[in-house]
Amino acid sequence: MIEVSAPGKLYIAGEYAVVEPGHPAIIVAIDQFITVTIEAAKKSGSIQSAQYSDMPIRWTRRKGELVLDIRDNPFHYILAAIHFTEKYALEKGKQLAFFDLKVISELDNSNGRKYGLGSSGAVTVSTVKALDAFYDLQLSNLELFKLATLAHLNVQGNGSCGDIAASVYGGWLAFSTFDHDWVLERLKQQKITDLIASDWPCLRIEPLEAPEDLRLLIGWTGSPASTSDLVDQVHQSREEKENAYQQFLKDSNACVTAMIENFQQGDIEAVQEKIRENRRLLAQLTTISNVVIETEELKKLCDLAEKYHGAAKSSGAGGGDCGIVIVDKKAGILPLMSAWEKAGITPLPLHVYHLGE
Ligand code: PMV
Ligand code: MG
């Protein structure tokens, strides 16, 4: 039996701007995993996951008609990952076979509630990884990233795929997404093996080293949020307020680029200043788009962290899920932990995950 796993992620900075090619974000992999096992089968295969089996499929109406929203359903990422990896395997001359595939997730809690740690990215990556081993494809990290990305784009469409990079590479990353139109156009014309082998415009995946005394704290608001919905909403408002949106992109770019330099210089205080700046920029994006990124709970989480010498902001798309805090290791964290708990914020005892640990 083959067993592989991929970690979840948290966005530290650069959210929303990072869906535009070339705009940087800082992302970190955390030590909660999705594990996939795969075993050869005969005549028919199966896909199984205890966590997702009773997961509802959300739907909405468009022009009155019922439309399924498959973007929050892990099965669709698994199916897309199988589809693209098998296409690649065929091009590499492999013979396809039947298998039983099982998914075990630590990224969702026992009630099936999402922590917002990026289960769709991790489930896509771990499925590709499992098939990589099953068909002996010997994919490099970059090839794994690109294959998982093609599958993810096929289901979600509007994401940056930063969660996939975090899941593949681990640790802290500076990430900018590739030109999605370019890749999708090539996908129509080229073999997958050729597309995977070519350089993708604007893509940047660069490991970062965190300053030695930097400590990451994570608080969970307990309310789940749908990233793809929130990104859709921000995009819809964008057309009316193009100038303000462009300014947001420019400011986010400058803020995160400086934060990446502060990481490289090992300057925690400067990193903290940029976290606060990024929080202000996301508040401006809320003014532009009317999309609530920092909910009341996230505000509480951040304000309490600031009171206890941390620099805090929402993580990812916001609207619920988690907030992150950057503190100096030398500062005590217990007062903040109890203040959070009193305020109904759950501290998540997670750590940065580095590959090979
Ligand atoms: O909510 P999360 O942790 O899935 O993060 C979403 C981050 C966005 O920039 C808003 C979207 C994306 O795909 O990068
Ligand atoms: Mg989220």
pLDDT per residue over 145-169, tens digit each?
Answer: 999 999 999 888 789 999 999 999 9
179 token code pair: 């030109």
The answer to whether 158 and 232 have CB atoms below 8 angstroms apart is yes
119 lines ligand 1 (CB under 6 A): no
CB 193, CB 91: distance < 8 Å? yes
112 pLDDT more than 60: no
Q: What tens digit of pLDDT does each residue of 4-50 get?
A: 999 999 999 999 999 999 999 999 999 999 999 999 999 999 999 87
Give yes or no for residue 71 having a pLDDT over 90.
no
pLDDT band at 247 (very low <50, low <70, confident <90, very high): very high
Edge-to-edge strand ranges of the sheet holding 214-220: 311-314, 322-328, 214-220, 346-347
Strands (E), the chain: 2-13, 25-41, 46-49, 58-62, 65-69, 98-105, 172-176, 204-208, 214-220, 311-314, 322-328, 346-347
* Domains annotated on the chain, with CATH: 2-207 (3.30.230.10), 210-347 (3.30.70.890)
Question: Rounded CA gap, 51 and 29, in Å?
Answer: 21
Helix axes 162-169, 119-134, angle to 10 degrees: 50
Q: Ligand 2 is a single-atom ion; what residues have CB below 5 A from it?
A: 116, 227, 316-317, 321
State if residue 317 touches ligand 1 by the CB under 6 angstroms criterion.
yes
Cα of 127 vs centre of ligand 1, distance in Å, is 21
Task: State mean pLDDT over 54-72.
Answer: 80
Strands 98-105 and 46-49, how do they pair?
parallel
pTM of the model: 0.94
Length of the chain in terms of residues written: 357
State if residue 122 touches ligand 1 by the CB under 6 angstroms criterion.
no
- 89 alpha carbon to ligand 2 midpoint, in Å? 33
Q: How confident is the model at residue 69 (pLDDT cuts 50, 70, 90)?
A: confident
Cα–Cα dist 102/37, whole Å: 5
Instruction: Tell me what pLDDT residue 227 has.
Output: 82
Question: How many Å lie between the centroid of ligand 1 and the Cα of residue 98?
Answer: 34
Residue of 32, 124, 156, 160 with the most ligand 1 atoms within 8 Å of its CB, for mutation: 160
